[in-house]
């Protein structure tokens, strides 16, 4: 299965045509986007992917940054929130969670990480793909050697 996880930066802005072209020319089975905005650009992305046979699910309808999942396989939408979208693909017995973790440190980000970790713990016996923009890193991954929610990332990795 070819999966693309891609931050389209500010909803794609003037790059939407090139972004969609990249998706379609690379024949991905699943596409998970972050910083997806359901504005005119977002609607164009949806329309082009649906035209090519993808099923789609954005995480929000309010014009804010969010997550987005597109799949060639049929899926059941399980949970949709502003920056969180979960689908289940029956033919693969696979849950997919697309997240856009808040980029600013603080209680909102910490609470969101707790929610991700709670989800991962509850799903430990299922096939699950948790993907998206975590806006977090360890010192090893940081260009300036700063950590952002590194313990949360490591805990998620430990859960499998």
Whether the CB-CB separation of 94 and 123 falls below 8 Å is answered with: no
pLDDT tens by residue, 107-151: 888 898 899 999 999 999 999 999 998 876 555 655 555 556 668
CA distance 122 to 116: 10
Q: Is 37 left (phi over 0), alpha (psi -120 to 50) or beta?
A: beta
**pTM for the whole thing?**
0.87
Give the model's pLDDT for residue 29.
Answer: 98
Give the model's pLDDT for residue 156.
Answer: 78
Phi, psi (degrees; rounded to nearest 5) at 29 = -80, -35
Interacting residues of 104 by C-beta distance below 8 A, sequence separation 6+: none
Whether the CB-CB separation of 15 and 43 falls below 8 Å is answered with: no
Give the model's pLDDT for residue 75.
Answer: 99
CA distance 159 to 129: 12
CA distance 26 to 10: 22
Low-confidence ranges of the chain (pLDDT < 50): none
Interacting residues of 52 by C-beta distance below 8 A, sequence separation 6+: 24
Show the domains of the chain with their CATH numbers: 3-159 (3.60.10.10)
Interacting residues of 5 by C-beta distance below 8 A, sequence separation 6+: 32, 34, 131, 132
Which pair of structure tokens corresponds to residue 49?
């992917």
Strand (E) or helix (H) holding 131: strand 127-133
């Amino acid at each position: 299965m070819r999966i693309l996880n891609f931050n389209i930066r500010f909803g794609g802005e003037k790059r939407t045509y090139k972004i969609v072209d990249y998706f379609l020319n690379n024949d991905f089975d699943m596409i998970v986007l972050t910083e997806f905005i359901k504005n005119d650009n977002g609607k164009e992305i949806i329309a082009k992917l649906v035209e090519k046979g993808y099923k789609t699910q954005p995480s929000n309808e309010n014009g804010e940054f969010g997550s987005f999942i597109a799949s060639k396989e049929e899926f059941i939408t399980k949970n949709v929130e502003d920056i969180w979208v979960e689908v289940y693909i029956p033919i693969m017995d696979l849950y997919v969670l697309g997240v856009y973790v808040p980029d600013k440190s603080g209680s909102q980000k910490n609470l969101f990480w707790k929610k991700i970790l709670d989800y991962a713990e509850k799903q430990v016996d299922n096939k699950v793909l948790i993907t998206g923009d975590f806006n977090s890193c360890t010192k090893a991954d940081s260009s300036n050697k700063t950590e952002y929610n590194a313990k949360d990332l490591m805990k998620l990795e430990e859960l499998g």
